[in-house]
Amino acid sequence: MYAGFLVTRRRCRHPDFHVDWRDTGGQAFTLMTPASGNAPGFGLLYRDDSGAVREYDYAPGEAIFFTDDFMHSTKPGSSDEPVVLLCFTFGTDRMTYWDRIRATSGSQSALMCRPDGQFETISRWQSWRRHLGWLAFRAGLRRSA
Ligand SMILES: [Fe+2]
């Protein structure tokens, strides 16, 4: 496991499609499962292989996990009480993939456990710089994230 955290939200006005993983060779994953009972109806949008937008609705006791190039977004909506999702990122125990894993997930977590079991702190500056690089990549201004 590289990182674990809680995702909380009350409102999402617009989709923000993105991928969590790119170019890891299917060696890294994100798992999300509801930790609060109000998640149904405030789900996940994703693009299927044809590019069509589809919807996944979180259900208690179920989880979704995905790897490279899974284009997804929070489904727009709102909730009076915070919707809480438990999120794990995990994958290979081979360090040869670490640079590619860190390149995308490094902007999501300040502290990650590497495949070799060592913890790596990612400074706010590094995280912000990677995030800017990621935004430039998404905007088509860079060829890699
Ligand atoms: Fe994501």
> pLDDT (tens digit, 9 = 90+) per residue, 99-145?
888 887 766 777 899 999 999 987 666 667 766 777 787 777 776 55
What distance in Å separates the CA atoms of residue 39 and residue 83, rounded to the nearest whole number? 6
**What integer pLDDT is reported at residue 145 of this predicted model?**
54
Distance 32 CA to ligand 1 centre (A): 9
Domains in the chain with CATH codes:
3-138 (2.60.120)
Give the pair of three-digit tokens for residue 13: 């006005």
**What integer pLDDT is reported at residue 106 of this predicted model?**
63
**Predicted model pTM:** 0.81
| Higher pLDDT pick, 44 / 103 | 44
Distance 71 CA to ligand 1 centre (A): 8
Share of the chain above pLDDT 70, in %: 91
Distance 44 CA to ligand 1 centre (A): 9
